[in-house]
Every structure is written in structure tokens, then in C-alpha cells.
């Protein structure tokens, strides 16, 4: 089976140890960056649009303030009931023209009374001079939207003026709005003053709001109809009512939310203008943060790639150094495995490899000493086995001689026992004969038989028989004792013979084990002869 080198394993471990954390950190960094950028985008767009809304309200307040000043003029309050009508109309002209001059882009101004008189004033620039103009007409403007809406208008953010929605001016055919405010005299409404403003001024103001880099601002009325669109608008068409959550946000004064539009996440900021009740709508798509996020992603991936490359270089350098030391030590261990115990590893440094090399050298020294001791022991063992074999041989010969001698003793004792047994039989026969003789003599010498002797022969023979019998009995006892002793000697000789046989068998086994021991000592000596020991 193919064996993977330690360099590959270590580099793989290094790469895993580097790539996994870097990948995790990169993903976390990108996600965190995305979250931070999104939060910053929402906050920045909210603050930017809020400032724009404040500027828009300031612009509207300036328009309202001009009308508020005009409503305080006596010539407007008492155009018909005080002084000369012509003088009052001229004064109204001057006042309206003065207001138009301070209002950028203003087209004309009106003062319409409840009685149906209308003063229209404007100015032209001729040869660098502003030339005022006016007309006085009898016309009923009370049914115009700007007139009706101005009556009884409430105070909102510092102004009473009302603003119409954009409409086409029949005189100039331009899209305009009219700003109007009622005029009161003695707390009674007597008319309305108004100024026509080109809607382009408001449109330009709205479209010039820079909402970050890719965002844009729309202007919509209270119903959600878009009054000012933007060329970059691809998400909201014609009306805010197309927003998924319009019903929930239409009555809120400010909104900062993320909405999915056309498959994209879009941040929508809405501020409601209190003066006009119009809505400034800021729209920022994910593209706003995509460029910044891509920069962060590229930077993060580049940093991770550099880290991986550096990690690979360091891993190769470290593993090469480790492999070089391991190869050096492996060669020494391989030589030791082949029997060369003269190896001595020399490593420079103060690390675990140096400790391992020193311990290896100590081990080889200890093994060399052990092998020398074993070699000496094998010599002694071989010599001892030879001596044991010699002693065993001599002991075996002596045992054989003892066995022969004991066999002879046992044989002689056996023969002696047989002879004694025969003597005992003869003695028994002698006793029987003596008994028969005694009986015969007693019979012959009994009363009634002839007795040629002078003395009593029966007493003599009885005495002789008695002594012979006693001697015979003693002889029988001694013969029996001698026979018993001979049997004991024979039994002891037999036991000694068996013991001698066992000893002889043990000596034979001892010879066999001694031979095995000699072979083992020779094999051990031959095996130790392969080792090359340190001096």
C-alpha cells in the first residue's frame, strides 16, 4: 500500500489549520461587514434624507414666510375699503413684486378678494432692470383650489400657507404649483394671496439630493402618487402603493425599512413633510454596499490567500526541517535494527528532537552494555554447561558402579537367604527326628519293655532331647532372624537399586538439558556476534 509521507501529512494539517480558521474568519468578516455596511447604509440614508427633508421644509417655509408678510400688508387687507383703489393696487403690485424677487423662480403673484377682484403682478428684466407689471381684473377666483384650500388653513411648522399639487400652467404651459394664504382684516377673511412657482424648482431640489452613491430620492403626495421621479428608479413605478407594506407605513411620519422589490433587497426611507403632507422617499439598493462589500471581500480573500501561501511556505520549511531530522534519526534506527550499535546521533538544537536523539544515544549505550553482559554470561553459561556435562558423566559412571555393587550385594543376600532358609528346613527336620527319637526311646524305655542299661536312659535322653530341642529352637530363632534381616537387606537393596535407576534417569535428562543449554549458549553467542558495539 502506498505510504503517505510525513511532509504531505504535516502540510495537509498546516493547510487545514490555516484554511479552516481563515475561511471561517473570512465568512464571518464578510457577513459582519455586510451587516455593518447595511446598518451604516440605513443610518446614513436616514440621516441624509432627514437633512434633505429639513432643507425642503426650510425652502417651503421661506415661500410661506413671503406670503405671511404679504398678508400683513394694509394695502391687501383694505384694498377696497380704505384709500384709493388705484393707489392700493400699485402698492399691492410693489409688495408682490418684492416677494417675487426674493423667491427663486417665482413666476407671478396674485391677490384675489372675496368680492371678485384679482390683482396679478409680475416683473420682467429689461436691460438689466426689473420692470414691474400688474393687472386688475374682475374675476371670481374663490373656486380655485389654491383659494379654497387656503381658507382656514392651520399653522404647520411655522407657516399657514398651503401648496397645491403640480399642475399645468395655461399661460406658460409649464408644470407649476401655487402657494397661497388667506388674508384677514379685523379677523375676517377678505381674500387670498398666492404665488406661482415652477415645479421644476422643487423637482431640481429633490433630484439634487445625493443619497449615498447609488441611492435616489422621490417625491410623492399623501396618496402615494409620485410627483418627482428619478431616472435611476427601477423599483417603484408611478405610485408608492406598489410597495408591499404601503398600508402599514403610509400614515407614519418617518420610515426606515428594507423591502424586497424585483428580487432585490432595497432600503426605503420615507419622511412625511408636515407643511405639504408630501413624502420624501429615499431608495438605496444592495448595489450601494455591493461595491464596498466587494472591496472588503477581495481584500479579505486576498489576505486569506496571502495567509495560505505564507502558511504553505512555513509549513514546507518546518516539515522539511522535521523530515530532515527524522530521516537522520530513521537511518540511525535502521542501522541499529541491522545490528550496528555503534551509532551516535548528533543533533544541534534545544528541542524535542535533540532530547529524543540524546535519549536514543543513552538507549544504545545501555543496550551495548547489556549485550556485553549477555555475551559474558553466555561464555560463563557455555563453560558451566561443559562442567555440568563432565560432572554428570562422572556421576553417571559412579551411579552405574554403585548400581552394580548393590546388585551384587542384593544377589548375595538373596542366595544367603535361600541357604539360611534351607538350613532352617534341615533344623526343622532335625527337630522332628529328635522328637521321633525321643518318642521311640520313651517307648522302648517305658515299663514293660526290656532295659539293658543300668541307669535310667529315659532321663538321659530326655535331658539330651531337652537340650537338643532348646538348641534347635535357638538355632531356628536365629535362623529366622537372619532370614528376616536378609529379607530387609534384600528389600533395602531393591530400594537402593530403584533409587539408583531414578538417579541414572535424572542424570540422563540432565545430560539432555545440558546439551540444550550448550546449544542455546552457542546460538546466543552467534547472535551477539552480529552486533557492532560502541567502543
Asked whether residue 434 is domain-assigned, the answer is yes
- Establish if 132 belongs to a structural domain: yes
Residue 175 reports pLDDT greater than 90: yes
Which of 179, 204, 229 corresponds to the end of one domain?
Answer: 204
Q: Percent of the chain having pLDDT more than 70? A: 74
Determine, yes or no, domain membership for 379: yes
Q: Domain end: 139, 173, 204, which one?
A: 204
Question: Residue 209: inside a domain, yes or no?
Answer: no
- Report the CATH number that the domain containing residue 405 is assigned in CATH: 1.10.287
Q: What is the CATH number for 102? A: 3.30.450.20
Query: Over the chain, what is the mean pLDDT?
Result: 80
Q: Which pLDDT does position 455 carry in this prediction?
A: 47
What confidence tier does 452 reach under pLDDT thresholds 50, 70, 90?
very low
Higher-scoring residue by pLDDT: 154, 507: 154
Whole-number CA gyration radius for the chain: 72
Q: How are the residues of the chain apportioned to helix, strand and coil, as percentages rounded to the nearest 5?
A: 60, 20, 20
Number of domains in the chain: 2
Residue 461: Cβ within 10 Å count: 19
Q: Are strands 108-113 and 188-198 parallel, antiparallel or unpaired?
A: antiparallel
Average pLDDT over residues 154-170: 92
Residue 340 lies in a domain: no
460: cell is 538321659
pLDDT of residue 361: 82
Has residue 451 been placed in a domain? no
User: Cα–Cα distance between 180 and 49 in angstroms, integer?
Assistant: 27
- Distance (Å, whole) CA 465 – CA 434: 7
The answer to whether 347 and 353 are in contact (CB under 8 A) is yes
* 329-369 per-position pLDDT tens digit: 788 788 777 777 776 777 776 777 788 878 888 887 887 78
Count of all residues that appear for the chain in the document: 535
What is residue 478's predicted lDDT score, i.e. its pLDDT? 62
Q: What is the mean pLDDT of residues 452-460?
A: 49
- In whole angstroms, how far apart are CA 127 and each of 41, 124, 131, 262, 270? 50, 10, 10, 55, 46
Choice between 521 and 37, residue whose per-residue pLDDT is larger: 37
Residue 430 pLDDT > 50, yes or no?
yes
Residue 192 domain boundaries: 57-204
Other Cβ atoms less than 10 A from the Cβ of 300: the count is 18
The residue among 233, 338, 352 whose CA lies nearest residue 281 is: 233
Q: What is the mean pLDDT of residues 267-284?
A: 93
Question: Using one digit for the tens of pLDDT, what is the confidence trace for 191-248?
Answer: 999 999 999 989 998 989 888 888 999 999 999 999 999 988 888 888 999 888 898 8
Q: Residue 9 domain-assigned?
A: no
* pLDDT (0 to 100) of residue 107: 92
How far is 36 from 96, CA to CA, in rounded Å? 52
179/149 Cα distance (integer angstroms): 10
* pLDDT, average across residues 16-34: 84
Rounded Cα gap, residues 33 and 20, in angstroms: 19
Q: Is 290 domain-assigned?
A: no
Instruction: Provide the total of helices (H) and of strands (E) in the chain, helices listed first.
Output: 9, 14
The residue from 204, 235, 267 where one domain ends is 204
Cα 479 to chain centroid distance, Å, stands at 107
Per-residue model confidence (pLDDT) at position 451: 46
Out of 33-37, 143-147, 243-247, 298-302, give the one with best mean pLDDT: 143-147
Neighbours of 292 (CB within 10 A): 16
Q: What would the grid cell of residue 303 be? A: 489576505
Which residues have C-beta within 8 Å of that of residue 151, sequence separation ≥ 6?
Answer: 182, 189, 192
Kindly state the cell numbers that stand for 485: 534381616
Amino acid at each position: 500500500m502506498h505510504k503517505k509521507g510525513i511532509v504531505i501529512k504535516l502540510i495537509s494539517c498546516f493547510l487545514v489549520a490555516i484554511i479552516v480558521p481563515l475561511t471561517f474568519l473570512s465568512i464571518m468578516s464578510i457577513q459582519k461587514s455586510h451587516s455593518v455596511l447595511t446598518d451604516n447604509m440605513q443610518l446614513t440614508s436616514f440621516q441624509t434624507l432627514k437633512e434633505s427633508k429639513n432643507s425642503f421644509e426650510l425652502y417651503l417655509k421661506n415661500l410661506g414666510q413671503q406670503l405671511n408678510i404679504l398678508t400683513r400688508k394694509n394695502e391687501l387687507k383694505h384694498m377696497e375699503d380704505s384709500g384709493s383703489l388705484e393707489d392700493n393696487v400699485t402698492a399691492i403690485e410693489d409688495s408682490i413684486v418684492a416677494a417675487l424677487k426674493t423667491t427663486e423662480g417665482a413666476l407671478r403673484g396674485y391677490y384675489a378678494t372675496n368680492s371678485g377682484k384679482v390683482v396679478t403682478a409680475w416683473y420682467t428684466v429689461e436691460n438689466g432692470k426689473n420692470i414691474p407689471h400688474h393687472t386688475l381684473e374682475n374675476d371670481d377666483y374663490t373656486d380655485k383650489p389654491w383659494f379654497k384650500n387656503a381658507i382656514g388653513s392651520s399653522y404647520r411648522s411655522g407657516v399657514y400657507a398651503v401648496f397645491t399639487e403640480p399642475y399645468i400652467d395655461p399661460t406658460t404651459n409649464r408644470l407649476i404649483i401655487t402657494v397661497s394664504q388667506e388674508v384677514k382684516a379685523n379677523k375676517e377673511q377678505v381674500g387670498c394671496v398666492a404665488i406661482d412657482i415652477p415645479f421644476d424648482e422643487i423637482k431640481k431640489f429633490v433630484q439634487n439630493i445625493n443619497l449615498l452613491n447609488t441611492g435616489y430620492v422621490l417625491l410623492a403626495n399623501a396618496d402615494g402618487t409620485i410627483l418627482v421621479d428619478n431616472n435611476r428608479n427601477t423599483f417603484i413605478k408611478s405610485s408608492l402603493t406598489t410597495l408591499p407594506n404601503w398600508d402599514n407605513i403610509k400614515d407614519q411620519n418617518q420610515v426606515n425599512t428594507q423591502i424586497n422589490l424585483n428580487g432585490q433587497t432595497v432600503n426605503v426611507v420615507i419622511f412625511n413633510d408636515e407643511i405639504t403632507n408630501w413624502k420624501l422617499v429615499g431608495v438605496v439598493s444592495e448595489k450601494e454596499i455591493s461595491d464596498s462589500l466587494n472591496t472588503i471581500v477581495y481584500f479579505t480573500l486576498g489576505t486569506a490567500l496571502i495567509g495560505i501561501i505564507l502558511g504553505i511556505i512555513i509549513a514546507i520549511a518546518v516539515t522539511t526541517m522535521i523530515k530532515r531530522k527524522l530521516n537522520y534519526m530513521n537511518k540511525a534506527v535502521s542501522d541499529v535494527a541491522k545490528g550496528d550499535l555503534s551509532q551516535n546521533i548528533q543533533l544541534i538544537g534545544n528541542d524535542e528532537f535533540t532530547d529524543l536523539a540524546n535519549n536514543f544515544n543513552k538507549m544504545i549505550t545501555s543496550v551495548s552494555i547489556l549485550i556485553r553482559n549477555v555475551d559474558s554470561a553466555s561464555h560463563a553459561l557455555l563453560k558451566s554447561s561443559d562442567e555440568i556435562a563432565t560432572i554428570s558423566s562422572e556421576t553417571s559412571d559412579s551411579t552405574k558402579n554403585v548400581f552394580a555393587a548393590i546388585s551384587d550385594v542384593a544377589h548375595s543376600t538373596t542366595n544367603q537367604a535361600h541357604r539360611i532358609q534351607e538350613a532352617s528346613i534341615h533344623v526343622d527336620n532335625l527337630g522332628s527326628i529328635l522328637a521321633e527319637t525321643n518318642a521311640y526311646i520313651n517307648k522302648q524305655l517305658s515299663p514293660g519293655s526290656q532295659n539293658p542299661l543300668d541307669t535310667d536312659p529315659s532321663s538321659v535322653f530326655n535331658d539330651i532331647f531337652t537340650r537338643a530341642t532348646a538348641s534347635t529352637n535357638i538355632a531356628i530363632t536365629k535362623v529366622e532372624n537372619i532370614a528376616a534381616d536378609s529379607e530387609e537387606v534384600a528389600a533395602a537393596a531393591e530400594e537402593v537399586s530403584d533409587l539408583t535407576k531414578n538417579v541414572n534417569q535424572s542424570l540422563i535428562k540432565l545430560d539432555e538439558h545440558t546439551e540444550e543449554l550448550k546449544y542455546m549458549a552457542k546460538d546466543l553467542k552467534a547472535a551477539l556476534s552480529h552486533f557492532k558495539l560502541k567502543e
